[in-house]
Structure 1
Amino acid sequence: MRYTATGTTDPADATGTTADPVDAVDTNHPVDANGPVGSGGEELSLAEHAYRALRDRLVMLEIRPGAPVNEDQLAQSLGVGRTPVREALKRLQYERLITAYPRRGTFATDVNITDLAHISEVRQELEPLAAALAARRATETQRAGLAAVRDELAGVASGRHDAAGLMRLDLRVHRAVYAATGNPYLADTLVRYDNLATRIWCLFVDRLPGMAGHVGEHGPLLEAILAGDQDRASRLARGHVEGFERAVRTVI
């Protein structure tokens, strides 16, 4: 079962192009002469800037499933040349976020709900591993970052986050945990699958109850990681992934 832009609800402001706060870049303004800077303070190449900005637009469905992807328009909106955009699109095609057809053009990949089982199958094995590794290997700097995200989660129940804000916070948690594993190959794999899962979530967000509670579940997970409790962190991570799949299946 494939879903495109028709009949779906955009969880973000239709005019917004704000990237995810994790490794986010400003997608609304051109890049300055010195290059963009990521949230970690690192200087980004123009291709990396384009990749992160476009990735987050695609993940959050700000670029709708099935919508055409035009290099010139994207380059203009990001304030970069076509070459960085072209390099970014190659990566995004590999990550299944865009699809290129000969003589037809490039399009945002449709959301195929039948992929949920495959995505969940991978995440149910790798998310617990990532949580356990983060509990064991996180550096002091990474622990400080995890603690900051944990503190932000405490405000979820207040209702100050809209749906898009909750999903961006969810992405922040996952990416922070993946980075703390100390295994860049595992982190890269999980980011890709979490992005695909988030697209499914965005598609059904208007029908999913208890969204704040789902995001808030990360609080105990982060506490376990910060305490170095590998077994508990692993168990909570698996339960979170299983709960996500159950929640989506109740509304499809």
Structure 2
Amino acid sequence: MAKAGSKVVSRALSKTPVKRQKRQSVFEDADVGLDILLEPLRETRKEPRAPARRPRRDDAPAEDASLTDRAYRILEELIATLQLPPGAVLSELTLSDRLKIGRTPIREALQRLARDGLVVVLPRRGVLVSDINLRTQLRLLEVRRVLEVLMAGLAAERATAEEREAFAEIAGSMRQAAEVEDDLAFMRLDRRFNLLMAQASRNEFAVRSMGLMNALSRRFWYQHYKEVADLPLAARLHAEVAEAVARRDRKAAETAASNLVDYIEDFARKTLDA
């Protein structure tokens, strides 16, 4: 099983369809590939590396959690950007070898991905990347609309000065990514936007619910955006939410969030004709 899974994952990780080849990111120093994804995904290029140190025995639980988070971020991005396509068989051993991360953090990351709906655990078949389904996406959007509006409003009221500054920075960077049609940079900024929104809203129940939807939504968008999406419009709508939060304007933030979900739903329905 591991040998067959290894071949599938190796092909998925090493070959990206021509139309999915990445352009140079305006936020990275090199072409995006597995080598970059294996590095910790720092929020900004200026973030210093932590000094290397030999872990003590009592550091092990925290270190394992950090490795699980790192494995999750890498695998989530590989799945969301279709470098691990729907139906790919994932082997813990192969992923551990390729990512240079132990099998326990890999296993825990896969369990989180299963909860997010990005992978499916099948008896006697192993772990498979889940299929992309339009009907599932539309049902997801029914719930996402309520949560997006709620969280945007809460964030506008509860965000700290530092968080509002970060929202303004993300808005500008999103517009810049759209101008140069840098899809991967936009997706990474979208992930930062979602994480910051979750933090600033300060409602753990809304955050947990939204967390199950964000990765699925990014993957659906990435699969179809070349055919039916308008990247500048998507960036502008995200930026308007972020800017309203930065201004502490709850009503504007809720309206902008509703407009964003209108666009996302329209985008999903257009995929039927693509």
Same fold (TM over 0.5): yes
Structure 1 distance, partners of 2:32, 2:162, is 35
Whether 2:267 is the aligned partner of 1:250: answer: no
Structure 2 distance, partners of 1:226, 1:84, is 36
Structure 2 distance, partners of 1:208, 1:22, is 31
Identity of aligned residues (%): 30
2:150 to 126, 129, 133: 129
Unaligned runs of 5+ in 2: 1-11, 24-30, 45-51, 56-61
Closer/same/farther in 2, CA of residues 196 and 216 from structure 1, 3 Å limit:
same
1:170 to 167, 179, 190: 190
Match of 1:91 in 2: 112
Normalising by the residue count of structure 1, what TM-score does the alignment of the two structures yield? 0.82
Larger Rg: 2
Mapping of residues 8-19 of structure 1, within 5 Å: 10=20, 12=22, 16-17=33-34, 18-19=36-37
Residue type matched to 2:259 in 1? G
Match of 2:249 in 1: 229
Match of 1:29 in 2: none
Structure 1 distance, partners of 2:54, 2:235, is 36
Closer/same/farther in 2, CA of residues 16 and 90 from structure 1, 3 Å limit:
same
Unaligned runs of 5+ in 1: 25-31, 36-41
Residue type matched to 2:248 in 1? G
Structure 2 distance, partners of 1:59, 1:146, is 23
Match of 2:226 in 1: 206
Structure 2 distance, partners of 1:116, 1:91, is 19
Structure 1 distance, partners of 2:212, 2:53, is 30
Structure 2 distance, partners of 1:52, 1:165, is 15
Following superposition, the deviation at residue 49 of structure 1 comes to 1.4
1:107-156 per-residue CA deviation (whole Å, 9 max, x = no partner) reads 11111111121111011100000100100111122222212212213424
Residue type matched to 2:235 in 1? V
Residue type matched to 2:147 in 1? L
Structure 2 distance, partners of 1:175, 1:207, is 27
Closer/same/farther in 2, CA of residues 23 and 154 from structure 1, 3 Å limit:
closer
Closer/same/farther in 2, CA of residues 53 and 34 from structure 1, 3 Å limit:
farther
Is the 1:68–1:107 Cα contact (8 Å) retained in structure 2? yes
Is the 1:69–1:106 Cα contact (8 Å) retained in structure 2? yes
1:90-116 per-residue CA deviation (whole Å, 9 max, x = no partner) reads 111111111011111111111111112
Following superposition, the deviation at residue 192 of structure 1 comes to 2.1
Following superposition, the deviation at residue 12 of structure 1 comes to 4.6
Closer/same/farther in 2, CA of residues 21 and 191 from structure 1, 3 Å limit:
farther
Count residues with an aligned counterpart.
234
Normalising by the residue count of structure 2, what TM-score does the alignment of the two structures yield? 0.76
More divergent stretch after superposition (133-142 vs 214-223): 214-223
Closer/same/farther in 2, CA of residues 199 and 8 from structure 1, 3 Å limit:
farther
Is the 2:165–2:246 Cα contact (8 Å) retained in structure 1? no
More divergent stretch after superposition (134-143 vs 212-221): 212-221
CA RMSD, 1 decimal: 2.9
